[in-house]
Structure 1
Amino acid sequence: MLDATLLADLQLNDLPGTAPEAARLVEGSYLRLAGWLEGHLPRIGTLIAATSISLYGRYLTDTVRKTARDWPFLLRVGLFVVVVGFAVGAIIAAVAPLITAGLRSVGTLYLLPAILCAFIVIGILAERSGRI
């Protein structure tokens, strides 16, 4: 049984009685969700960039490790901090606005499928690289 407060929170006080009313309800809810996502695109772009970098960051750290293998400890730590702390952050900061602009160019109607596809692709890449 549905709780009346839940229906009020969802703005579903009057459930649709016909198929066209239900279609309008679904369409309106979808567009509200897409509009909400559009307001959070900078965060979503940063999330996609950071997640992608985390998948391939292992290659970067392996390269740094091989390069600095014979260096003194303090220089190795310093290089690691510079590369991981600053370079990876700079890469994310540079790539995130590009991803955001790409998602913004998709348009509100196709924003939700585009974001879902991006995360599905990241999941597939994570699976293939042995991360999950």
Structure 2
Amino acid sequence: MPDETPSRSELAEDRTDLAEDRTLLANERTFSGWARTALATIGIGLGFHVLFGALEPAWLPKVIATVFIALGVVIIWMAERRACAIQSRLSAHNIRTLRSLNIRLIAWVYTLGALSLTVALWLVNGDAIS
């Protein structure tokens, strides 16, 4: 009866594969955290405009809100670059990971949403909103 216990090198290889899978999952969680930070930054910009929209000159709250929204866009693209770079160096073994294309799609959706919000911020007349 042959001995079917795995060798030490096979066990080490399995542990390495599992560690790589855990690293890929941690990378996705980190990207999600940075994505939440980007959304929070965009929300801070919008909230600033809503709370301090009556400041004079009228363009000042819009500029401050735009800076926060732009910061949110920068954060999501920094997160996308880092997540895709890490993902390209590793390979999944026992898990399904978020593809780089999907990470880029998330970054583009955040960017388009932020740009739309910025355009609306500058085009909507604040006096018309009660």
User: Please, what TM-score do these two structures have when normalized by structure 1?
Assistant: 0.35
The one of the two structures with greater contact order (alpha-carbon pairs below 8 A, sep at least 6) is 1
**Structure 2 length-normalised TM:** 0.35
